[in-house]
Structure 1
């Protein structure tokens, strides 16, 4: 029991000190109560931290795709679904290089650039006694790839038409691969590297491009697409990047490309498209759908956890009032007003709730950023959601602490001091 003799003149600081003393006196009970709030806050903060980090990556990904650029590919960029729909996509035939060439012939005069690429599973690149991690993406591409996909050449040259026509064994290195195989003082040009059992001469090195959608865009080795098709024995589908002549013609170019791709694929009027158009808008729409679904789930979990923790706070505070009946009676007999008792018990409830909120915020931000860093995304500190979480915790403390606080304030001092 901890009493202050001059109850009528208690300041907020005194009330706070007294509230903390009472909570510390019951450490285990206070800790268990705060954990309920922490779980609710953790779930929403962790999810929103991770989603904000992913959102930044989506924005950078859209920037890398280009304002007037879109892609044609076999599968959707993002896909969440089950059974029948998934098998429908998986059973589509690959987009072949021959179909790509026919598409280019039909669309070349209507576009600014058309680039081809086809990628393999992760590989390991070697030079002398140096190795990369076995996660390098070996990509076959044409001489339009770099321009269409926004890659700048830092050293050396791009592929030319002869490299593609004669399937020469030249390679362009992403900046990450170049840094792994060649120290800053060593010029990688004209050096021979080995990847997938094949030897390639380094013709150029790309400028650093960064990550998009959680994946590095610099961890690649580019070889002529014709050599890729001749020497890499892996089933893959062609990806076509198209840059419209202008923003004004962007939508018209997409419509024309769909028609040209249907012709190249030999589809009849009644057959649906068996390819996907990947645009800035489709990517952001897909992300927003996923974001809404995840956020809704996190809100439901958080609401249930916070509701149950609020009830827990109320029950704990009611028990506390019962246990401290004598203390309340003594304080009232010494002149403590009802308002002072009410404020102290409300303050205890708020402290429990806010403490749980702080634990949830710290662990939630940490967990969300661990997820972000795992996918090569920048760390995020979601200030808005932290402010919302603290406000909600304060409201929970006041709402669920009001009944116990009111019960304590209305206790009759004579009854409270009467021996049971």
Structure 2
């Protein structure tokens, strides 16, 4: 029997038993959907993270007390909390001592703050950044209106600020904000500049901030029990490794880290953070793979049972076909193809639904739309394997039926 005829027979049988075929497909759909939806979402999130991290600036890395992503056992958080704070004075010493760098920015942040004017106020979901003038270069920011914080502002702790576009929209919807006054967490500041907007990142605004001189920050919140971040930009990509090594060595001396002991500070860059994110999401991929394996295994057993029922129901049909000359190999091939087609149809539905749902969740988190072609192909291959493994026994049983006994079957 030609393969085309076998395919026609297989599709005809599936159409004639739509309910049974649908129930058989359900397990495959769930198994494939779960893995594709999770992989689509993770790929979308990773793509969004890579785009968002580009704001750190080229050839730039940061030093801070805590790692960007904490991984480890129950005691890891305590380990980082017990590290000594990175102080403003240590940052100044690094600037004075390091020899290979282009820019070093000292940064300190407080979060969940409300800003207001005499007429308007924001929600308490903004942050204040105490910074130095090098912040622009190290964080890939640009001034849209006005000017930025200067060294003179830092040396004199001037009450000036540069704000994000969200703050402009909320506090000055119909006015040019430069030169106006704003109350930041209860303290008056004069607006001297506005940063170019960046929009949403993972469902949250990137423009809800006010930047002030770091010395002004410390006048308000104090220096004690505060740990700053230090952003360092290398001169170019070629000097990046040398800059990183030089800064680490200088920081170890400044923070009196004994030789042979690990650093008591964390360093991350775009590349290293993306690597950490990939390692972190790997656990979710393993979990999703395991869940999908169990679901597909259960679906495979279901397919085998349904196919065995189909063989029993179609015993007379098989007997008639054998009586008029159909070979056992043709019968086996037909039932095997039916099982594979059922699995592939379920796989296709699961892939489509998984991509749609994964991207819908990703869009809600402001991540780009992605299609995991590699996982889609893997899904189809696995579905074919499930169809073969769990369809071969029913197909073999059908092929081995005695035509005389089959014709007697009622």
Could you tell me the TM-score, scaled by structure 1's length? 0.86
For 2:95 and 2:363, the matched residues in 1 are separated by 39
Matched, 1:60 2:51: yes
Matched, 1:163 2:184: no
| Structure 2 match to 1:196 | 185
**Quick one: structure 1 residues 385 and 176, their matched pair in 2 at CA, closer, same or farther if it must change by over 3 Å?**
farther
1:89-128 → structure 2 map (5 Å cutoff): 89-107=80-98, 109-127=99-117
For 1:229 and 1:186, the matched residues in 2 are separated by 30
Of stretches 386-395 and 155-164 in structure 1, the one that deviates more from structure 2 is 386-395
For 1:41 and 1:191, the matched residues in 2 are separated by 57
For 1:284 and 1:296, the matched residues in 2 are separated by 18
Does structure 2 retain, via aligned residues, the 8 Å contact 1:151–1:209?
A: no
Does structure 2 retain, via aligned residues, the 8 Å contact 1:209–1:218?
A: yes
Of stretches 321-330 and 336-345 in structure 1, the one that deviates more from structure 2 is 336-345
Q: Report SS of the residue matched to 1:402.
A: helix
Per-residue deviation, 1:330: 4.2
Instruction: Provide structure 2 residue ranges, at least 5 long, that are not aligned to the other structure.
Output: none
Deviations 1:278-311 (Å, cap 9, x if unpaired)? 1344223323322433333332332333233222
Q: Which residue, out of 306, 311, 330, partners 1:316?
A: 306
**Quick one: structure 1 residues 135 and 32, their matched pair in 2 at CA, closer, same or farther if it must change by over 3 Å?**
farther
| Structure 2 match to 1:221 | 210
Q: Which residue, out of 125, 129, 132, partners 1:139?
A: 129
Does structure 2 retain, via aligned residues, the 8 Å contact 1:8–1:336?
A: no
Instruction: Provide structure 1 residue ranges, at least 5 long, that are not aligned to the other structure.
Output: 1-6
**Quick one: structure 1 residues 377 and 133, their matched pair in 2 at CA, closer, same or farther if it must change by over 3 Å?**
farther
**Quick one: structure 1 residues 245 and 156, their matched pair in 2 at CA, closer, same or farther if it must change by over 3 Å?**
same
Per-residue deviation, 1:241: 0.6
Does structure 1 retain, via aligned residues, the 8 Å contact 2:59–2:234?
A: yes
For 1:34 and 1:408, the matched residues in 2 are separated by 21
| Structure 1 match to 2:402 | 412
What is the aligned length?
Answer: 409
| Structure 1 match to 2:255 | 265
Does structure 2 retain, via aligned residues, the 8 Å contact 1:164–1:224?
A: yes
Matched, 1:172 2:166: no
Per-residue deviation, 1:156: 0.9
Does structure 1 retain, via aligned residues, the 8 Å contact 2:65–2:264?
A: yes
1:366-377 → structure 2 map (5 Å cutoff): 366-377=356-367
Q: Report SS of the residue matched to 1:273.
A: coil
Per-residue deviation, 1:132: 4.1
**Quick one: structure 1 residues 8 and 56, their matched pair in 2 at CA, closer, same or farther if it must change by over 3 Å?**
closer
Q: Which residue, out of 374, 377, 390, partners 2:380?
A: 390
For 1:8 and 1:299, the matched residues in 2 are separated by 37
Q: Which residue, out of 78, 84, 90, partners 2:75?
A: 84
| Structure 2 match to 1:4 | none
Does structure 2 retain, via aligned residues, the 8 Å contact 1:19–1:347?
A: no
**Quick one: structure 1 residues 267 and 383, their matched pair in 2 at CA, closer, same or farther if it must change by over 3 Å?**
closer
Deviations 1:65-92 (Å, cap 9, x if unpaired)? 2332111111111111122222101221
Does structure 1 retain, via aligned residues, the 8 Å contact 2:148–2:162?
A: yes
Matched, 1:350 2:340: yes
Matched, 1:152 2:146: no
**Quick one: structure 1 residues 314 and 146, their matched pair in 2 at CA, closer, same or farther if it must change by over 3 Å?**
same
Matched, 1:275 2:265: yes
Does structure 1 retain, via aligned residues, the 8 Å contact 2:50–2:270?
A: no
**Quick one: structure 1 residues 195 and 306, their matched pair in 2 at CA, closer, same or farther if it must change by over 3 Å?**
same
Deviations 1:318-344 (Å, cap 9, x if unpaired)? 122112223333454566565654454
Does structure 2 retain, via aligned residues, the 8 Å contact 1:330–1:417?
A: yes
Of stretches 169-178 and 139-148 in structure 1, the one that deviates more from structure 2 is 169-178
Per-residue deviation, 1:56: 1.5
Q: Report SS of the residue matched to 2:17.
A: helix
**Quick one: structure 1 residues 381 and 133, their matched pair in 2 at CA, closer, same or farther if it must change by over 3 Å?**
farther
Per-residue deviation, 1:145: 0.9
Deviations 1:262-286 (Å, cap 9, x if unpaired)? 2332444465421112134422332
Does structure 2 retain, via aligned residues, the 8 Å contact 1:8–1:337?
A: no
Q: Report SS of the residue matched to 2:338.
A: helix
Q: Report SS of the residue matched to 2:75.
A: helix
| Structure 2 match to 1:208 | 197
Provide the aligned C-alpha RMSD in A: 3.0
For 1:130 and 1:281, the matched residues in 2 are separated by 41
1:17-56 → structure 2 map (5 Å cutoff): 17-24=11-18, 27=19, 29-56=20-47
Per-residue deviation, 1:127: 4.4
Does structure 2 retain, via aligned residues, the 8 Å contact 1:8–1:335?
A: no
Per-residue deviation, 1:93: 2.4
**Quick one: structure 1 residues 128 and 385, their matched pair in 2 at CA, closer, same or farther if it must change by over 3 Å?**
farther
For 1:317 and 1:167, the matched residues in 2 are separated by 79
